Structure 1
Amino acid sequence: MASYADPSSDERVEQVEWAESGGGPLIAIPEVVLPFWSGADGDELASDYDRACEVDGLIGLLPVGNTTALVLGDEPAATAYLPEHGTFVRWSAGESERELPAGVPAALATAAWGREVHWQVPGTVVLFDAAWPGSGATRAGHLRIALEPGRYAVRAAHGEPGPETWIGLVQLRPLGR
Structure 2
Amino acid sequence: MARYADPGTVEWVESGGGPLIVVPEAVLPFWAGADGEDLATDYDRACEVDGYVGLLPVGDSAALVLGDEPASTSFLPDHGTFVRWSAAGSEDELLAGVPAALDAAVWQNEVSWQVPGPVVLFDSAWPGTATERTEHLRVPLEPGRYTVRAAHAQPGPETWLGLVQLSRLPD
Question: After superposition, where does 1:6-155 map in structure 2 within 5 Å?
Answer: 15-155=9-149
Q: Tell me if the contact between 2:51 and 2:109 (Cα under 8 Å) persists in the aligned partners.
A: no
The DSSP-based 3-state class of the residue aligned with 2:165 is strand
Q: Which amino acid aligns with 1:53?
A: C
SS of the residue corresponding to residue 153 of structure 2 reads: strand
Q: What RMSD over aligned residues (CA atoms) do the two structures have, in Å? A: 1.0
Structure 2 CA distance for aligned equivalents of residues 22 and 124 of structure 1: 24
Supply the AA of the counterpart residue of 2:13.
A
Partner deviation per Cα, 1:3-25 (whole Å, 9 max, x = no partner): 111x6xxxxx8510000000000
* Counterpart code for 1:23: G
Q: Which amino acid aligns with 1:147?
A: L
User: TM-score if structure 1 supplies the norm length?
Assistant: 0.94
Quick one: which amino acid aligns to residue 63 of structure 1? P
Q: In 2, distance between residues paired with 1:91 and 1:29?
A: 20
TM-score by length of 2: 0.97
Q: Which runs of 4+ in 1 moved over 4 A?
A: none
Q: What is the identity, as a one-letter code, of the residue corresponding to 2:54? A: G
> How far does residue 70 in structure 1 lie from its aligned partner after superposition?
0.2
Structure 2 Cα separation of the partners of residues 92 and 59 of structure 1: 16
Q: CA deviation at 1:138?
A: 2.3
**Within 2, Cα distance between the matches of 1:138 and 1:148?**
21
The whole-number CA distance in structure 2 between the counterparts of 1:24 and 1:174 is 28
Gaps of 5+ in 1: 8-12
Compare 42-51 and 134-143 and name the one that shifted more.
Answer: 134-143
Secondary structure at 1:51's aligned position in 2? helix
Q: Which runs of 5+ in 2 are unaligned?
A: none
Cross-structure match for 1:4: 4
Task: Work out whether 1:157 is the aligned partner of 2:144.
Answer: no
